[in-house]
Structure 1
Amino acid sequence: MSTNSSLRLSRRGFTLTALAGLSVTAACGNGVGSTYGSKIDARVDATLSEMYSLYPNTRGLAQKAAGLLVMPLVTEGGLWLGAGYGRGALRVNGVSVDYYSTAKASAGFQIGVQQYAHVLFFMTEDALADFRRSSGWVAGGDIEYVFSDKGDSIATDTTTLRSPVLAAVFGRAGLRIGATLEGIKYTRIIP
């Protein structure tokens, strides 16, 4: 083998190795399977297990949903001005397809801190598609709550099931009155 052909083979090998490295880096940077995504997924799994344990009827609701946005821990606090933040995952067919953060700001008479989990059930493909297409989806007054605290039972009557988005808020801790999802903005995280 001549020196020129060895050099050419080395360049070709180097180029193929570099391209392979770039594709592996790109695949690892999408958040799926990364340490970042793994931590969120572990919290999402624990949150869903808790919800299914506390409210067994949510299993059937989850099976009917086109997708679930699970926010394992949202922390809110305020003294006149308030803010909240959390991170979670969008699950479609039991698989995390995207990661999201949630943020909330409020003003008015308020004092205290609270933490809670919430799950949004996207009951139609259109509602799920609208959520995924938006650059920042804001939860509004059109969300129907299926339950919002321990002791409540899930209401899955025909009126509730026609709502495009259902919400479950649970696992509250802290000293702040009420937890509402109105005005919360969800933004896709690109890790």
Structure 2
Amino acid sequence: MTHFTRRGLLALGGAGLGLAACGNGVGSQGAARLDARVDATRNYLLQKYPGTDTLMNKSVGVLYMPLMTEAGFGIGGAYGRGALRINNVTVDYYSAASASFGFQIGAQQYAHALFFMTQEALADFRRNPGWEMGADARYALPDRGGAIGADTTTSLAPVIALVFGQSGLIAGATLAGTKYTRIIP
């Protein structure tokens, strides 16, 4: 019988992240290319989902992750790169990575944005060398009509996550356990 250690599972998850990163053009993106992708993602949100502009205006900063690639076969991982914008000006670049274990097979790509609704939440994110998405964040999901479901409960959350543009063969996308790390593109 094979015995899996936590370190072994993390190593296998890292291998999955390496495979997921292949579809992201890691290493071939400079700051200008990443900013262009962030611009396109921001414009897509504003055009596709009414109410996003209100959420953007209420937030003190937004982390845009234009392309997350996730793949898994029992053990999976996801990886993507993006930019943090304050007053619609890029202030830092980040990578996002996660590993998972369980019943899963397939691959998908999606985008997401984190809206920081308080200065404290934004400062905490920028201060930590490896910030992890936790349970204190709320998810605003586009409904069938394309409007963002940011109600009063959600708008009081320090961080609001919006996952959109899913395509692929894995059902759903979650950001729980995703680790964000500042990078130099």
* CA pair 152-180 structure 1, distance change in 2 beyond 3 A: farther
Larger radius of gyration: 1
The structure 1 residue matched to 2:64, chosen from 52, 62, 70, is: 70
How many angstroms apart in 2 are the aligned matches of 1:46 and 1:183?
26
Q: Does 1:138 align with 2:132?
A: yes
Partner residue in 1 for 2:163 = 169
Aligned to 1:141, the other structure's residue is in SS state coil
The structure 1 residue matched to 2:86, chosen from 67, 85, 92, is: 92
More helix by share: 1
Deviation at 1:56, TM superposition (A): 1.9
The structure 2 residue matched to 1:119, chosen from 103, 113, 116, is: 113
Tell me the percent identity: 59
Superposed CA RMSD in Å reads 1.4
How many angstroms apart in 1 are the aligned matches of 2:104 and 2:142?
19
**1:35-82, CA deviations, whole angstroms, 9 ceiling, x for partnerless residues?**
711111000000011111111200011011000000000000000000
Equivalent AA in structure 2 for residue 92 of structure 1: I
Number of aligned residue pairs: 157
Q: Does 1:56 align with 2:67?
A: no
* CA pair 134-150 structure 1, distance change in 2 beyond 3 A: farther
* CA pair 189-116 structure 1, distance change in 2 beyond 3 A: same
How many angstroms apart in 2 are the aligned matches of 1:167 and 1:147?
9
The answer to whether the 8 A contact 1:73-1:116 is kept is: yes
Q: Does 1:106 align with 2:100?
A: yes
**1:118-158, CA deviations, whole angstroms, 9 ceiling, x for partnerless residues?**
00000000000000000100001221111157655322322
The answer to whether the 8 A contact 1:149-1:169 is kept is: no
137-146 vs 88-97, which moves further:
137-146
How many angstroms apart in 1 are the aligned matches of 2:161 and 2:105?
24
The runs of 5 or more residues in structure 1 that have no matched partner are 1-34
How many angstroms apart in 2 are the aligned matches of 1:110 and 1:40?
30
Equivalent AA in structure 2 for residue 64 of structure 1: K
The answer to whether the 8 A contact 1:135-1:188 is kept is: yes
The structure 1 residue matched to 2:74, chosen from 58, 76, 80, is: 80
150-159 vs 113-122, which moves further:
150-159
Equivalent AA in structure 2 for residue 189 of structure 1: I
How many angstroms apart in 2 are the aligned matches of 1:104 and 1:68?
20
Deviation at 1:103, TM superposition (A): 0.5
TM-score, normalised to structure 2, is 0.81
Runs of 4+ in structure 1 over 4 Å off: 148-152
Aligned to 1:147, the other structure's residue is in SS state coil
How many angstroms apart in 2 are the aligned matches of 1:75 and 1:140?
20
TM-score, normalised to structure 1, is 0.79
